A = this chain, B = another copy of it.
Amino acid sequence: MRGPLKIISGRSHQSFAEEICAHLAVQLAEVELITFSNENQMVKIKDNVRESDVFVVQTSCPPVSDILIETFLLLDALKHASAQRVTAVLPYFPYVRSDKKDQPRISIAAKLVADLFQTAGAGKFLTMEFHSPQIQGFFNVPVDQLLATEVFVKHFQQNYDLSNYVLVAADVGEAKQMGKYATRMDLPMAIIDKRRIGNSEKVLPAHIIGDVEGKDCLIIDDEVASGGTLCAAADFLKSKGAKTIRAAITHAVLSGSAMDKVNQSQLDELVVTNSIPLGDKAQQTDKIKVLTVAPLFAQAINNIHNGNSISVLFKD
């Protein structure tokens, strides 16, 4: 019913797009992505896309702003080139943590970005693991949100003896994510209670709610950015008697000196997905383990294109 399937990749995560294409046995459509000396960009779709069902694969990673503009340009070019439907496939949604107005006169940037994508030409979205599930309500068009839960649960159940494990949230505000894992893996939970120290701006682990002594800890979170929170949590857990400390974190932003922090921390292992390209960061440590979610995206794209349900793919 839909026109021919076309997969287009921006420059943010081309290997991911190629992995999707391999699963779908299609070729990446050809595009030209140019940056001029004045830093202006130009994108050029080389293949005809009239009446096609186009999926643009792009993730949020440095150079973050350039990637955003490139995505807008791709969506707009496709719309005006008479594509039948344009779906933005965003494994790691830009500005996803900026999802609330917790200070006066700031932008809820995740909502703004959702609006800008729609203005540029996205008629549908496919993404994974929003920071909060409410973000689906930021969109006026259908958005399918995949979850990494299944991938992580399978990985830990197959490769580890979980009998001594406890799940840990690094902050009371992030405990919700952990709940679905606890149910799936039938494990106890603990939460780190962070408090402000004196008059400083700094918020540090102060207490542990629940029991971690002598336990194998698995920290659950949706994103690791600068690594500060995660590593402080690992060190704190160690100081409270934890036996081993692992983390299962969907989006591996790992910005700034994150890799150094991970290496120097008490964290034993950091398991992430390939929603964001790791580049040479994977080589900077042997603590990191990357699980691929490309097959999940390939399956979703296939079902969307053919009008089949994808709800089985985002079961918690």
Interface residues of A (CB under 8 A from B): 1-3, 36-46, 48-52, 62-66, 68-69, 72-74, 76-82, 84, 94-95, 97-112, 115-116, 119-120, 124, 132-138, 140, 142-145, 169, 171-173, 175-176, 178-179, 182-183, 188-191, 193, 195-196, 207, 209-210, 225-226, 253, 255-256, 258, 303-304, 307-311, 314, 316
Q: Which residues of B contact A176 (CB under 8 A)?
A: 172-173, 175-176
Is the CB–CB distance between B309 and A104 below 8 Å? yes
Is the CB–CB distance between A142 and B190 below 8 Å? no
Is the CB–CB distance between A107 and B308 below 8 Å? no
Most chain B CB atoms below 10 A, which of A41, A84, A143: A41
- Determine how many copies of this chain the complex contains: 6
Cβ 8 A contact of A73, one of B52, B112, B256 = B112
Q: How far is the CA of A64 from the CA of B37 in the complex (A)?
A: 11
Return the chain B residue nearest A135 by Cβ. Answer: B134
Contacts A37-B225, A116-B116, A193-B182 given; does A50 touch B307 at CB 8 Å = yes
Is the CB–CB distance between B72 and A116 below 8 Å? yes
Q: How far is the CA of A43 from the CA of B106 in the complex (A)?
A: 6
Q: How far is the CA of A107 from the CA of B210 in the complex (A)?
A: 36
Is the CB–CB distance between B209 and A183 below 8 Å? no
Cβ of A314 to closest chain B Cβ, rounded Å: 8
Cβ of A140 to closest chain B Cβ, rounded Å: 8
Q: Which residues of B contact A40 (CB under 8 A)?
A: 64, 94-95, 97-98, 109
